[in-house]
Amino acid sequence: MKTITRLSLLVSSLIALGVGHAENIAVMGETVYTMAGEPLKAGVILISNGKIAAIGPKASINIPDGYRILKAVVVTPGLIDAHATVGLSGLLNQAQDQDMLEKSSAVQPELRALDAYNAKDPLVGWVRSYGVTTVNTGHAPAALISGQTMIVKTFGRTADEDVINPAAMTAVTLGRNGLTNTEGGPAASKSPGNRSKAVAMLRAELIKAQEYAKKRAAKDESKRPGRDLKVETLLRALTGVQPLLITANRQQDIISALRIAKEFNLKIVLDGCADAPMVLDQIKASGFSVIVHPTMQRSYEDMENLSVETAGKLHAAGIPIALQSSYEAYVPKTRVVLFEAAIAAAHGLSFEAALASITSGAATLLGIADRTGSLVPGKDADLALYDGDPFEYTSHCTGTIVGGMIFADGAH
Amino acid sequence: MPNRPLLCLAALLGVAAGVSAQEKPQVFTGAQIIPISGAPIAHGVLIVAGGKIIAVGPVDKISLPVGAEIHDVTGKVLMPGLVDSHSHIGSGSGGDGSGPIQPEARVLDSLDARDASIQKARAGGITTVNVMPGSGHLISGQTLYLKLRTARTVDDLLIKLPDGTNAGGLKMANGTNSMRGANGFPGTRAKSAALVREEYIKAQEYRDKIKRAAGDAEKLPPRDLALEEIGEVLAGQRIVQNHTHRHDDILTVLRLSQEFGFKVVLHHVSEGWKVAPEIAAAHAPCSVIMIDSPGGKLETKDADWRTPAILEQAGVLVGFHTDDPICDSRRFLRSAALAVRAGMTRPGALAAVTIANAKILGLDDRVGSLEPGKDADFIVLSADPLSVYAHIEQTWVEGTKVFDLSRPADHLYAVGGAGAGDSRRAQLCCFTSAWDLIANANNGGEQ
> Tens digits of per-residue pLDDT, B178-229?
999 999 999 999 999 999 999 999 999 999 999 999 999 999 999 999 999 9
* Domain coverage including residue B301: 82-360
Contact yes or no for A392 and B388 at CB 8 A: yes
Asked if residue A327 belongs to a domain, the reply is yes
Contact yes or no for B337 and A394 at CB 8 A: yes
Q: By CA distance, what is A309's nearest residue in B?
A: B415
Chain A residues whose CB is inside 8 A of the B313 CB are 3
Asked if residue B193 belongs to a domain, the reply is yes
Residue B430 has pLDDT above 60, yes or no: no
A51 inside 8 A of chain B by CB: no
Whether B112 and B249 share a structural domain: yes
Pair A185, A103: CB distance under 8 Å: yes
Whether B352 and B217 share a structural domain: yes
Whether A215 and A252 share a structural domain: yes
Pair A34, A55: CB distance under 8 Å: yes
Between positions 337 and 366 of B, the ones with CB within 8 A of A are 337-338, 340-341
Contact yes or no for A7 and B273 at CB 8 A: yes
**According to the model, what pLDDT value does residue B440 have?**
54
**According to the model, what pLDDT value does residue A181 have?**
74
**According to the model, what pLDDT value does residue B434 have?**
52
A30 inside 8 A of chain B by CB: no
Asked if residue B128 belongs to a domain, the reply is yes
Q: Could you tell me which residues come within 8 angstroms of residue B73 by beta carbon, excluding any fewer than 6 positions away?
A: B28, B29, B30, B31, B380
* Min Cα–Cα distance to chain A from B310, Å: 7
pLDDT class of A13 with cuts at 50, 70, 90: very low
Residue A125 has pLDDT above 50, yes or no: yes
Whether A339 and A257 share a structural domain: yes
* Min Cα–Cα distance to chain A from B109, Å: 24
Q: By CA distance, what is A331's nearest residue in B?
A: B296
Number of CB atoms found within 10 A of residue B31's CB: 25
**According to the model, what pLDDT value does residue A329 have?**
93
Rounded CA separation A322/B17 (Å): 48
**According to the model, what pLDDT value does residue B436 have?**
55
Asked if residue A284 belongs to a domain, the reply is yes
B334 inside 8 A of chain A by CB: yes
Asked if residue A412 belongs to a domain, the reply is no
DSSP code, position B297: S
CA B403, B407, B413, B415 dihedral sign is positive
* Min Cα–Cα distance to chain A from B270, Å: 12
Residue A184 has pLDDT above 80, yes or no: no
Name which of A94, A345, A393 is nearest B298 (Cβ-Cβ). A94
Residue B426 has pLDDT above 90, yes or no: no
Contact yes or no for A347 and B415 at CB 8 A: yes
Asked if residue A372 belongs to a domain, the reply is no
Contact yes or no for A126 and B326 at CB 8 A: no
Pair B83, B368: CB distance under 8 Å: yes
Q: With left for phi above 0 and alpha for psi between -120 and 50, is residue A304 left, alpha or beta?
A: alpha
Structurally, chain A folds into a number of domains equal to 2
B445 inside 8 A of chain A by CB: no
Whether B200 and B109 share a structural domain: yes
B322 inside 8 A of chain A by CB: no
Whether A191 and A72 share a structural domain: no
Whether A312 and A258 share a structural domain: yes
Burial status of residue B163 (CB atoms within 10 A of its CB: 0-12, 13-18, 19 or more): exposed
Whether B383 and B256 share a structural domain: no
* Domain coverage including residue A318: 79-366
Q: Where are the alpha helices (DSSP H) in B23-162?
A: 116-123
Residue B431 has pLDDT above 90, yes or no: no
Whether B207 and B283 share a structural domain: yes
Residue A250 has pLDDT above 90, yes or no: yes
Taking only the tens place, the pLDDT of each residue in B367-392 is 999 999 999 999 999 999 999 999 99
Across the range B324-339, mean pLDDT stands at 98
Sheet with B318-320: list strands edge to edge. Answer: B139-142, B170-173, B240-244, B264-268, B286-288, B318-320
* Min Cα–Cα distance to chain B from A22, Å: 28
Residue A333 has pLDDT above 80, yes or no: yes
pLDDT class of A22 with cuts at 50, 70, 90: confident
**According to the model, what pLDDT value does residue B446 have?**
36
Nearest one of A393, A394, A378, A384 to A355, comparing CA atoms? A384
Residue A143 has pLDDT above 90, yes or no: yes
CATH classification at residue B127: 3.20.20.140
Q: By CA distance, what is B418's nearest residue in A?
A: A305
**According to the model, what pLDDT value does residue A180 have?**
84
Instruction: Return the minimum-mean-pLDDT range out of A117-131, A174-188, B379-393, B415-429.
Output: B415-429
**According to the model, what pLDDT value does residue B433 have?**
52
Number of CB atoms found within 10 A of residue B184's CB: 11
Whether A264 and A335 share a structural domain: yes
**According to the model, what pLDDT value does residue B441 have?**
54
Q: By CA distance, what is A306's nearest residue in B?
A: B417
A59 inside 8 A of chain B by CB: no
Instruction: Return the minimum-mean-pLDDT range out of A5-9, A229-233, A388-392, B294-298.
Output: A5-9
- Testing the interface with B: which of A126, A129, A331 to mutate, by most B Cβ within 10 A? A331
A347 inside 8 A of chain B by CB: yes
Chain A residues whose CB is inside 8 A of the B328 CB are 296, 298
Whether B245 and B226 share a structural domain: yes
Residue B444 has pLDDT above 50, yes or no: no
Across the range A336-357, mean pLDDT stands at 98
A95 inside 8 A of chain B by CB: no
Whether B311 and B163 share a structural domain: yes
DSSP H/E element including B52: strand B52-58
Contact yes or no for B294 and A91 at CB 8 A: yes
Taking only the tens place, the pLDDT of each residue in A156-180 is 999 999 999 999 999 999 999 899 8
Pair A134, A81: CB distance under 8 Å: yes
* Min Cα–Cα distance to chain A from B11, Å: 35
Asked if residue B443 belongs to a domain, the reply is no
Count Cα neighbours of B253 within 13 Å in the Cβ-side half-sphere. Answer: 34
Asked if residue B183 belongs to a domain, the reply is yes
Whether A138 and A221 share a structural domain: yes
Q: Which residues pair with A409 in a beta bridge?
A: none
Chain B residues whose CB is inside 8 A of the A93 CB are 295-298
Mean pLDDT for chain B overall: 92
**According to the model, what pLDDT value does residue A141 have?**
83
CA B65, B67, B73, B78 dihedral sign is negative
Contact yes or no for A342 and B388 at CB 8 A: yes
Whether B157 and B225 share a structural domain: yes
Whether B87 and B76 share a structural domain: no
Asked if residue B413 belongs to a domain, the reply is no
Whether A66 and A154 share a structural domain: no
Instruction: Return the minimum-mean-pLDDT range out of A10-24, A342-356, B356-370.
Output: A10-24
**According to the model, what pLDDT value does residue A185 have?**
76
* Min Cα–Cα distance to chain B from A343, Å: 7
Across the range A1-26, mean pLDDT stands at 53
Whether A86 and A45 share a structural domain: no
**According to the model, what pLDDT value does residue A288 have?**
98
Across the range B264-292, mean pLDDT stands at 98
Across the range A110-123, mean pLDDT stands at 98
Whether B307 and B260 share a structural domain: yes
pLDDT class of B10 with cuts at 50, 70, 90: very low
Across the range A119-133, mean pLDDT stands at 98
**According to the model, what pLDDT value does residue B20 have?**
45
Asked if residue A371 belongs to a domain, the reply is no
Contact yes or no for B417 and A1 at CB 8 A: no
B152 inside 8 A of chain A by CB: no
Rounded CA separation B30/A299 (Å): 37
Residue A394 has pLDDT above 80, yes or no: yes
- Testing the interface with A: which of B115, B120, B268, B293 to mutate, by most A Cβ within 10 A? B293
Residue B27 has pLDDT above 60, yes or no: yes
pLDDT class of B72 with cuts at 50, 70, 90: very high
**According to the model, what pLDDT value does residue B442 have?**
53
pLDDT class of A142 with cuts at 50, 70, 90: confident
DSSP H/E element including B20: helix B3-22
Rounded CA separation B121/B353 (Å): 13
Taking only the tens place, the pLDDT of each residue in A255-274 is 999 999 999 999 999 999 99
Chain B residues whose CB is inside 8 A of the A308 CB are 415-416
Rounded CA separation B21/B49 (Å): 9
Whether B47 and B132 share a structural domain: no
Task: Provide the ipTM.
Answer: 0.94
Pair A142, A88: CB distance under 8 Å: no
CATH classification at residue A65: 2.30.40.10
A351 inside 8 A of chain B by CB: no
Whether A68 and A85 share a structural domain: no
**According to the model, what pLDDT value does residue B13 have?**
37
Instruction: Tell me the percentage of chain A whose pLDDT exceeds 70.
Output: 95
Contact yes or no for B295 and A92 at CB 8 A: yes
Whether A346 and A227 share a structural domain: yes
> Among residues B307, B329, B360, which one ends one of the domains?
B360
- Length reported for chain A: 412
**According to the model, what pLDDT value does residue A6 have?**
44
Structurally, chain B folds into a number of domains equal to 2
Taking only the tens place, the pLDDT of each residue in B229-240 is 999 999 999 999
CATH classification at residue A299: 3.20.20.140
Whether A95 and A19 share a structural domain: no
Number of CB atoms found within 10 A of residue B11's CB: 10
User: Which contacts of A209-215 are long-range, i.e. CB under 8 A and separated by 24 or more positions?
Assistant: A209/A234, A209/A235, A209/A237, A209/A238, A210/A238, A210/A264, A213/A238
**According to the model, what pLDDT value does residue A291 have?**
98
**According to the model, what pLDDT value does residue A189 have?**
79
**According to the model, what pLDDT value does residue B424 have?**
63
Across the range B354-379, mean pLDDT stands at 98
Pair A49, A22: CB distance under 8 Å: yes
Name which of B274, B297, B417 is nearest A277 (Cβ-Cβ). B417
* Min Cα–Cα distance to chain A from B251, Å: 16
Chain B residues whose CB is inside 8 A of the A333 CB are 293-296
CATH classification at residue B29: 2.30.40.10
Number of CB atoms found within 10 A of residue B204's CB: 16
Whether A124 and A135 share a structural domain: yes
Instruction: Tell me the percentage of chain B whose pLDDT exceeds 90.
Output: 88
Whether B184 and B308 share a structural domain: yes
Asked if residue B419 belongs to a domain, the reply is no
Mean pLDDT for chain A overall: 94
**According to the model, what pLDDT value does residue B23 have?**
74
**Number of CB pairs, chain A paired with chain B, less than 8 A apart:** 117
Residue A405 has pLDDT above 80, yes or no: yes
